[in-house]
Structure 1
Amino acid sequence: MTAAAAPWLLAGIPLAGALLSLFAWANAARLRTSAVLVSAITFGAAIGLTGRLASPPEGALLLYLLPVAACVSLLGQPLHHDHRLSWVATLLLLGLGLGVLALPTIGGPLFLMLLLGCLIALLYRYHTPLWPISWLGIGTYGFGAMCAAVSMIAARPFSAAASLLACATLLPLVPFHEGHVTSITRLPGSLPSFIVLLLPALGLHGLAAVLPATPGPIAWIVTLLAMAGSLYGAVKALAQSRVRLLLAYGSLSFFSMVWW
C-alpha cells in the first residue's frame, strides 16, 4: 500500500462502517455491535498504518485516541432505538475526524468542512424552540466551516488567520465557544461524550501547525481570551445543576487553559 492511500483507508473504514451499519437499522442491538466492531477495527488500522502516515505535528496519539473514544462512548450508551442515529453519526464523525488528522494540505480542511457540516445538520435536526441558543452553535460551526474553506484557498497570512479562527471553534475559545456548548447539551446518545474529545483534538491538531507562526500581538490576544474563557467557564460550571451543562462549561474552562 502506498503512503498516499493509507490516510484514505484509515478514514474510509469508519465511513464505510457508518454506511454498512444502515443495513442493521431495524435491529438496535446489531447496529450498536457493528458500530463498536468498526471502531475497534479502526483502532487496529490506526496502529497498523502508523508507519505509512505522515506524522502530525502533535504526534500519532490522537489517531489512536479517537477510535478508542468512539468505542467507549458507544459502549456507554444504553441499548435503545432512539440512539441509533447517534451510533451511526459517531462512526461518520470518527471517519471525518481521522481524515482531518491524517490527510495533508487540502484534504484536511475539506474533511473538516464536511465534519462541521454534519454537526450543523445534527444541531438543526435536534433544535427546538425551547432552546434558541442552538442557532448560536449552528452559526459558530458555520463560521468554522467558512474559515476552513478560506484556509484552503487564501494565501498567507490570511490562511493562517482563518486556520486559527477555525481552531477556536473546535478547541473552544471565547467568544467562539457556543458550538461546543450546544453540541454537548443538545445532541443525543453517544455523540456528546465523543464530541467533547473529538473537536478539541482536531483543534489541537490545527493549533500545533498554526500557532508557532502566529505573530506576537495575536498570541497575546489569544492568551487574554483564553484567560477570560477559563474564568467564564469555571464560574458558569459552578452555577449548573444539569450534568451536560456542567460538562460543557467545565470542559470550556479546561480547554481554554490549553490555549495558554
Structure 2
Amino acid sequence: MTFSAQLWPLAVALTVAAVGLALLRKPDALKVWLVIGAMVSLGTVGWTAGQRPAHAASLPLTALLPLAAFASLLGQAVHRRQCGGWLVSFLGLGLSLGVLTAEPALAAFCLVAVLAVVAAALLLAPSREPSSGLWGIGTLGLGALMAAGSLMTGPPVSSLAWALACATALPLVPLHKGFVAALTILPANLPGFLAVALPVIGFHGLLTVLPLVPPAIADALGALALAGVAYGSLRAFTQSRAASVVSYGGAAFYCILWWYLCSTRTAPAHTVVYLSAVGLATGGLLLAWHQLRARYGEIDLRALSGLARPMPRFAVVLSLLALAAIGLPPFGVYAGMLGMLLAPSFTWSSALPIILLGWLAAAWYLFALVQRLLFGAHRPEYRHEDLRGPEWASLALFVVFLIALGIMPDRWFDPGATPLTRTVVMGAPSWSR
C-alpha cells in the first residue's frame, strides 16, 4: 500500500469539512452533510485497515472516532450558532485520524494541528471562567510545542517531549487543564467528541514512545498519575456545574490508565476497552448536559432538579450513562478495568487502594449528580420538554457502544487470539499473534 493511500481517512474527513464551509449558512444541510460524512469516514477507515492488515490493530480506536463524531452530531439542535462548532469537530476528526493512520512525521504534525485547533477554539469561545480558558490554552500550546519539538530533537529529549505532548491529550495532572477546558467551555458537540478524540490520540501516541521511556521517568509519571486520581476526584467534588464534575471525573479515570501503563510497563488489549469506554461515557454525559443547557441555559446544579417524571427518556439514558461511567457491568468501563487487573503483567501493589478510593469517589459524585438532577425537588417554574427523536438516538448510541464494549467477545481484544491487537512492552514493542 502506498504512502498516499494511508492518507485516505485524513483526506476524506478534511474534504467533508472543506465542503461544509459552503453550507455554513444552511445549518440543516450542513448537519446532514456532516452526519453522512462521518459514516463515509467510518467506511474509509474500514477500507484502509483492510488494505493494511499488518497495521489493523489500530482499527478499534480509529473506527471509534467517526462513530463518536456521528453520534455527537446526530442529536444537535439545528441552529446557525452551532455550525462553527460542527465544522471544528470535523476538522478535529480529520486531524485525529491523521495522528492514528499517517506516518510518524505527518502524525506528529497532525497532533500539533489538533492541539492548536482546540486551543484556537478555546480562544474564540466565550467563557464564564476566563482563567480556566487561559490555563487550557496555555497547556494545549505547550503540548503543541512539545510535539513539534519531538521532531527537531533526538532521543531521549524527543521521547520525553512526545510523552509530554501526549499527556495534554490523554490528561495527566498537571497537564490536564486543556482537556478540562475543552470539555467545559467549547460549544455544540465539541465536548462530547473531544472527550473521545483527545484521549484516543494521546493514548496512541503514548504507545509509540512508551518503550523508550526510562524506568525512573516511568515511575515518576506513575506517581504523578496517582496524585492525579486523587486530585481529579477531589476537584469533581467541589464543582457546581455538571460539565466540570464530569470532566474532572474523566481526568481522574484517565490518570488510572496512566498509572497502569507506567507501573506494569505494558498495554494489554483491555486498555483499549477501558480507554474507549471512559471516553464514550464522558462524552455521553457531556452531551446529555448539553441537551439540558439547550433547554434551560447555563443553570447551577442546585437550581435544576426533579427531571425524572417530566423527562423519562432523558432520565433513562442519563442513568445508564452514569452507571457505565462508574464501572458497573455490563458496560465497557467495567470490562476494561477487570481485564486490566486480571492481565498476567499486573501485580497488586500498595497503590491499588488509592485507585479504588478514586473509583468509589467517582461513584459518589456521579450518583449525587444524577440524583440531584432526576430525583430532587420538582421545579414547576421550568417548562420541561423530554428528549426529541435525534437527541434520544444520539445518547442511546453512546449507551449501545458502551454495552458492546462490555460484552464483546475476548477474541476481539486478546493478543493471543488475533493478529489485530498490539501489545506494547516497555523496551520491546511487538505485534502479537
Counterpart residue number, 1:38: 37
Counterpart residue number, 2:172: 173
For residues 70-81 of structure 1, the aligned pairs below 5 Å read: 70-81=69-80
Q: CA deviation at 1:76?
A: 2.4
Q: Distance in 2 between matches of 1:47 and 1:81?
A: 32
Read off the aligned partner of 1:238 and give its amino acid letter.
F
1:37-82 deviations in whole A, cap 9, x for unaligned?
A: 1000000110111033485696321110000001111112222221
Counterpart residue number, 1:224: 223
Q: Give the CA RMSD over aligned residues.
A: 1.6
Counterpart residue number, 1:141: 140
Read off the aligned partner of 2:104 and give its amino acid letter.
T
Q: Distance in 2 between matches of 1:81 and 1:53?
A: 40
- Cα distance, 1:257–1:57 mapped onto 2, change above 3 Å: farther
**SS, match of residue 210 in structure 1:** helix
Q: Distance in 1 between matches of 2:110 and 2:124?
A: 21
Q: Distance in 1 between matches of 2:42 and 2:113?
A: 22
For residues 88-237 of structure 1, the aligned pairs below 5 Å read: 88-128=87-127, 130-237=129-236
Q: CA deviation at 1:13?
A: 0.7
Q: CA deviation at 1:131?
A: 2.2
Mean Cα deviation higher: 52-61 or 87-96: 52-61
Counterpart residue number, 1:51: 50
**SS, match of residue 176 in structure 1:** coil
Q: CA deviation at 1:241?
A: 2.9
Q: Distance in 2 between matches of 1:192 and 1:161?
A: 28
Q: Distance in 2 between matches of 1:54 and 1:141?
A: 34
Normalized per residue, the structure richer in helix is 1
Q: CA deviation at 1:207?
A: 1.1
**SS, match of residue 166 in structure 1:** helix
Counterpart residue number, 2:83: 84
**Unpaired segments of 5 or more residues in structure 2?**
260-433
Counterpart residue number, 2:243: 244
Q: Distance in 2 between matches of 1:3 and 1:147?
A: 29
**SS, match of residue 159 in structure 2:** helix
The answer as to whether partners of 1:53 and 1:102 remain within 8 angstroms in 2 is no
**SS, match of residue 240 in structure 1:** coil
Mean Cα deviation higher: 187-196 or 22-31: 22-31
The answer as to whether partners of 1:35 and 1:91 remain within 8 angstroms in 2 is yes
Read off the aligned partner of 1:37 and give its amino acid letter.
I
- Cα distance, 1:104–1:247 mapped onto 2, change above 3 Å: same
The answer as to whether partners of 1:15 and 1:92 remain within 8 angstroms in 2 is yes
Q: How many residues align?
A: 259
Q: Distance in 1 between matches of 2:136 and 2:66?
A: 25
Mean Cα deviation higher: 47-56 or 102-111: 47-56
The answer as to whether partners of 1:123 and 1:186 remain within 8 angstroms in 2 is yes
Mean Cα deviation higher: 3-12 or 178-187: 3-12
**SS, match of residue 192 in structure 2:** helix
**SS, match of residue 130 in structure 2:** coil
The answer as to whether partners of 1:96 and 1:112 remain within 8 angstroms in 2 is yes
- Cα distance, 1:232–1:57 mapped onto 2, change above 3 Å: farther
**TM-score (structure 1 length as normaliser):** 0.95
Mean Cα deviation higher: 169-178 or 129-138: 129-138
The answer as to whether partners of 1:56 and 1:101 remain within 8 angstroms in 2 is no
Q: Distance in 2 between matches of 1:57 and 1:220?
A: 31
- Cα distance, 1:132–1:54 mapped onto 2, change above 3 Å: farther
- Cα distance, 1:153–1:165 mapped onto 2, change above 3 Å: same
What is the percentage of aligned positions where both structures have the same residue? 36
- Cα distance, 1:14–1:113 mapped onto 2, change above 3 Å: same
